[in-house]
A and B are shown apart, each in its own frame.
Chain A
Amino acid sequence: EAEVAQSPRYKITEKSQAVAFWCDPISGHATLYWYRQILGQGPELLVQFQDESVVDDSQLPKDRFSAERLKGVDSTLKIQPAELGDSAMYLCASSLSESENTEAFFGQGTRLTVV
């Protein structure tokens, strides 16, 4: 069964360091999302791509976060510099299209701890 792949699964980094997460969506899925989930809360959308274009990054802290999906397939989310408050689960999801009646498939996530 096709899955959304994310790496690494866990990452510990010191504050002020740079960190990057990678996501490979399900083949053929044009829409890709990055979410951040703080323990005990629901996922919060950071950025949404349609193919290689950013559709929505209104909630992305652009002073330190960046995301790219250069060829419209896999994607990288970067944080530089990391802050203590960035500790969270970073989830990648993909869907066949950006239609509202389409389910999103989530990866296992990357658990980030900033020390």
Chain B
Amino acid sequence: SQKIEQNSEALNIQEGKTATLTCNYTNYSPAYLQWYRQDPGRGPVFLLLIRENEKEKRKERLKVTFDTTLKQSLFHITASQPADSATYLCALDRASGTYKYIFGTGTRLKVLA
């Protein structure tokens, strides 16, 4: 069955460093991958979308890579700030007719001042 894995352990980093979060998937080949940010008690907020034919996408301090050979996406936040502390979710499209994104479990990031 389709499986998406994100590191369930919280990631703690120092302010100013680059945070790197991983999203691995097995048993299917998505055409699109999205990253969302979720703060406690709130709904996810869309950050970036990357297509299978795009190796890298950037938006301000955010960078996403999509390696269809490794079946992995990396999400980077450069010059991290305490305000970046949140849970980050990756979501992959089903690519099976009806549009449907499947979410990973998310990784909690804490940026220490």
User: Are B31 and A40 in contact, with the CB atoms below 8 A?
Assistant: no
How many inter-chain contacts with C-beta < 8 Å in the A-B complex?
Answer: 61
User: Are A105 and B46 in contact, with the CB atoms below 8 A?
Assistant: yes
Q: Which residue of A lies closest to B4 (CB)?
A: A42
* Chain A interface extent, by class: 20 to 34
User: Are B99 and A106 in contact, with the CB atoms below 8 A?
Assistant: no
Q: Does A28 contact B (CB under 8 A)?
A: no
User: Are B93 and A100 in contact, with the CB atoms below 8 A?
Assistant: yes
Q: Residues 44-82 of chain A: 1 if any B CB is under 8 Å from the residue's CB, otherwise 0?
A: 110010000001100000000000000000000000000
From known contacts A56-B100, A100-B99, infer whether A42 and B42 are also in contact, taking CB-CB under 8 Å. Answer: no
User: Are B44 and A43 in contact, with the CB atoms below 8 A?
Assistant: yes
Min CB–CB distance A86 → chain B (angstroms): 18
